[in-house]
Amino acid sequence: MFHIYDYAIGFIAGWGAHPVDMLQWWADNAGLKETIPAHYKGSGEIGIGGLFNTLTNWDVTCTYDNGLEMRFMDDQTAERLKPHPGVEPVHGTLFVGTKGWVKVNRGGWKVSDEKLYRLGKNPGSKRLDVSTNQRYNFIDSVISRKQPVDNLHSAVRSDIICHLSDICIREGKPITWDAEKETIVGNPEAAKRMHRPMRAPWTL
């Protein structure tokens, strides 16, 4: 959880990339026009006064241009706020819709209504690849040269969401992401946080 910002952004990406990745896996296959949310607004706590200076808690609302919202928070914040009564505020990704909710994590999935379990057995014509072991899936992909269940593009997008969440908290103001230009727009100071100063003679 505790890291030095010169070398990593901390738990928000080290842990956060996992639940965000499950959301991104869905988004990449749901036909959304936007690849990731465009607008980020949130708050959090940064370790101050010691060696570690990365986020320890966070609560960020990430909004797609079409209005769809994703709320990204750590477990402790979820336990304190309880944004969705009846849902255990533990590690995972929660999808909330008009017919209820579905929560998924590496241990399985839970639903608000048993009817949703039956829908899961017959989701329709579009089905995502299934893997029961991510390590074997990776090895199989190396051998077959086929994309793994969760590919590199999804992983990069998930990581960008984590970094943008961290930046909006550190800036203390909302930020906007331009997916075409792959940069933060309308806030030069926030955009600077996308790059780290490098020691000479190292350059990119």
Give 24-74 as a 3 state SS string.
Answer: HHHHHHCCCCCCCCCEEEEEEEECCCCCCCCEEEEEEEEECCCCCEEEEEC
Distance CA 13, CA 141 (A): 25
β-pairing verdict for 55-63 and 39-46: antiparallel
- Condensed to tens digits (0 to 9), the pLDDT of residues 30-73 reads 888 788 999 999 999 998 777 889 999 999 999 999 999 999 99
β-pairing verdict for 55-63 and 100-105: unpaired
What is the model's pLDDT at position 133? 87
Query: CA separation (Å) from 90 to 28, 134, 142, 149?
Result: 24, 21, 33, 24
What is the model's pLDDT at position 179? 92
pLDDT digits (tens), the chain, 204 positions: 568 888 889 999 988 888 999 898 888 888 887 889 999 999 999 987 778 899 999 999 999 999 999 999 999 999 888 888 778 777 889 999 888 888 988 788 888 888 888 877 777 777 777 788 889 999 999 999 999 988 888 889 999 999 999 999 999 999 999 999 999 999 999 999 999 888 899 988
What is the model's pLDDT at position 1? 55
What is the model's pLDDT at position 12? 94
Q: Do the Cβ atoms of 111 and 100 come closer than 8 Å?
A: yes
